[in-house]
Amino acid sequence: MSRVRGVARPAALRLLPWALVLALAMAMLALGADYALGKATLVATYAIAGLGVVIVVGQAGQIGLGQAALVALGAYAQALLVGAGVPPLAALPLGALAGALGGALASLPARRLGGLYFGMSTLAFALIVEEALVRAEPWTQGAAGMAVGAFAVLGWRAASTLEQAAVSLAVLALALVACHRLLRSRHGRAWRAVRDDEVAAAACGVAPAAVKMQAFIVGGALSGLAGALYAHWIGFISPEQFGLVFSFELLMLAFIGGARRLAGAAWGALVIVVIPQLIAVLRDQLPGDWARAAGLELVLFGAVIVAVVLLRPAGLAGGSARSDAAHGDGA
Amino acid sequence: MLSLLQVLLSGIATGCIYGLVALSFVLIYKATETVSFMQGDLLMLGAFAALGLHLQAGLPLAAAALLAVIAVGALGAGLERAVLHRALGQPHLVAVLLTFGLGMMMRGGVASVPAAAQEVHALPFAADTLAIGPLVLAASHLWVILATVLLAALLAAFFRHTRTGLALRACSEDARVAALMGVPVARMHTLAWALGAALAAVAGLLLAPVTFVHLNMGFIALKAFPAAVLGGLTSLPGALVAGVLLGVAEALAGLALPEGVKDVVPYALLMAALLLFPQGLGVRRGGRGGV
């Protein structure tokens, strides 16, 4: 992108995310705290899943087109375990483990191929997982979906929106801290080395196949964790919720926020959750036929992603090229 | 035996559509190194455009179909000029997201038309069957196969025997060298997008009698990706052949294997092929493989 532009405009653009926060706060006042807390819960949960994409796509530089399948594995593991009487808090790590195992499996083709071929294999993996969840009817009740109980710890139930928001924000904070440390470690450096130049990384003693698998395991664990929480908040999961559209939503989330930065996941989640609400508000203002136009949301979503990719390729949280160099990537 | 023949024929017909969409994807990918995730939406748009022109504007079906294909081709060229050329030389994900976003806008645009969004539409040439002795074949399937063979021949002639076709091939082979030889590379990129979009629209028209016209008909493109990858991503005949192969495999799986397996056969085959033959099935080593 043109460097002149990057220097001339960051002040205005840096305000954009905060404008969004302000808009959200105003919406909170207008629509009631309960509603806003519900949305905050969703934002935090999406952000955790988005962190997985940031690790796989933004840090390790792999084309992951099937992240939703890893979220699904976490959600279903949690639902099945809780259904079998495991305390939700104890099931959470197992949900994350399910996502991590799925990630390891999805990354297997990366041993032999990279780039677009590998991207297509993650797509195929996600579609296979979705179909498998539909067909595993004895356990998952197939396409009909299954209900999930409330999140509870030692007799305390996260029943209100305030409690749910608190739990998901706490988990998000923990995940952010863990990722921050990981990115600063040799693992994070290895991911970025493979992203920037696989051959050079290999020449420096970094094994690309193992590094990609690590990234998928970590990314899968985060997405699985998000899925486990999501199952509790929504209370009902079915395979179609975790289809290709959700995978792309997560990818867009990461790109809108800034795939190279951890903060990008949070900003992207905010945008992804807020846009439908904005449209709902807008729709009430529009006259006649437009109010009923079902496609408006799709058009606007599409326009946002195209605009972000064209105008702000580093995402909302991504700084100018200069600040990237100063801070190193990530964090 | 008879039912096997019928299943095979319907598999080949479906496979032809996978193949055509894969072909359009590979055409664009080869010429511009851009990944298009909106081929399914272009396909849907083509079918709806023809339907609208036929039913609303009252054009005869053939004229409506031709006009729809040209219009979608022009849209592809316009989008390349306006937006997609920005993805040149960028990481694949940029193009993936751009085209997915544009595809969403197309789907949203069609969904905003109340008459289009609500129901499933049939094109008037749908229902005929053809009886050869005891064998009953769906005319639409035969149409699809015939049209695909014709299109493939046309494309082959275009790439072999015309200057523009040669220029496009040169551009796909090595854009820098082609530019040095006087090929207008930017114009070739636009042409590739126009051709790719028009091909997708043709696939939409051919699919219309088989599955009818509806908003989600573009999801068939998801089966075209495995076909494109199996064909090696850079071979046009490879994409077509892989598409037909997947269609037949899917149809046979529907016949012989438990329900649900059919839908994942293309992806399972893709995974197997990627793990076992990472070079792709259609790529000849030494990287010559003409267009």
Closest Cα of chain A to B105: distance in Å? 4
Q: What is the mean pLDDT of residues A206-220?
A: 92
Dihedral of alpha carbons B30, B192, A63, B223, sign: negative
User: Is B108 an interface residue toward A (CB < 8 Å)?
Assistant: yes
> How confident is the model over B100-157, as pLDDT tens digits?
999 999 998 888 887 776 666 666 655 567 677 677 777 788 888 999 999 999 999 9
Other Cβ atoms closer than 10 A to B226:
28
Nearest residue of B to residue A142, measured between CA atoms: B260
Q: What is the largest CA-CA distance in chain A?
A: 64
Residue A222 belongs to a domain: yes
Distance CA A76, CA A140 (A): 8
Tokens of A193: 């080395």
Q: Measure Cα distances from B238 to B42, B174, B241, B264 in Å.
A: 22, 20, 5, 21
ipTM score of complex = 0.84
Q: Which residues of A touch B114 (CB under 8 A)?
A: 289, 292-293
Dihedral of alpha carbons B280, B282, B288, B291, sign: negative
Q: Give the per-residue pLDDT at A95.
A: 93
Residue A225 belongs to a domain: yes
Residue A263 belongs to a domain: yes
Distance CA B225, CA B208 (A): 20
Tokens of B223: 């089966």
- Residues with Cβ within 8 Å of residue A28, at least 6 apart in sequence: A35, A36
Closest Cα of chain A to B222: distance in Å? 9
pLDDT beyond 60 at B289: no
pLDDT beyond 50 at A329: no
Question: pTM for the full model?
Answer: 0.86
Torsion of CA A81, A87, A93, A98, to 10 degrees: 0
Residue A190 belongs to a domain: yes
Distance CA A156, CA A233 (A): 15
Closest Cα to residue A258, out of A245, A269, A247, A248? A269
User: How many structural domains are present in chain A?
Assistant: 1
Q: Give the per-residue pLDDT at B272.
A: 86
Residue A79 belongs to a domain: yes
Q: What is the mean pLDDT of residues A236-243?
A: 90
Closest Cα of chain A to B198: distance in Å? 22
Could you give the 3-state DSSP secondary structure of residue A153?
strand
Residue A28: pLDDT band (50, 70, 90) is: low
Residue A81 belongs to a domain: yes
Q: Measure Cα distances from A315 to A248, B90, B97, B225 in Å.
A: 16, 15, 13, 28
Q: Give the per-residue pLDDT at A44.
A: 92
Residue A331 belongs to a domain: no
Q: Decide if A305 and B107 are in contact by the 8 Å CB cutoff.
A: no
Residue A101 belongs to a domain: yes
Share of chain A above pLDDT 70, in %: 85
Residue B6: pLDDT band (50, 70, 90) is: confident
User: Averaging pLDDT over each range in A176-190, A265-279, B126-140, B225-239, which range is the top one?
Assistant: A176-190
- Residues with Cβ within 8 Å of residue B206, at least 6 apart in sequence: B16, B17, B20, B143, B144, B147, B148
Closest Cα to residue B226, out of A83, A15, A116? A116
> How confident is the model over B227-276, as pLDDT tens digits?
998 888 888 898 999 999 999 999 988 888 877 788 888 898 888 888 88
Other Cβ atoms closer than 10 A to B78:
15
Nearest residue of A to residue B102, measured between CA atoms: A302
Dihedral of alpha carbons A102, A105, A109, A110, sign: positive
Q: Decide if B271 and A131 are in contact by the 8 Å CB cutoff.
A: no
Domain that holds residue A118: 2-326
User: Is B221 an interface residue toward A (CB < 8 Å)?
Assistant: no
Q: Measure Cα distances from B113 to A85, A301, B75, B118 in Å.
A: 49, 17, 19, 9
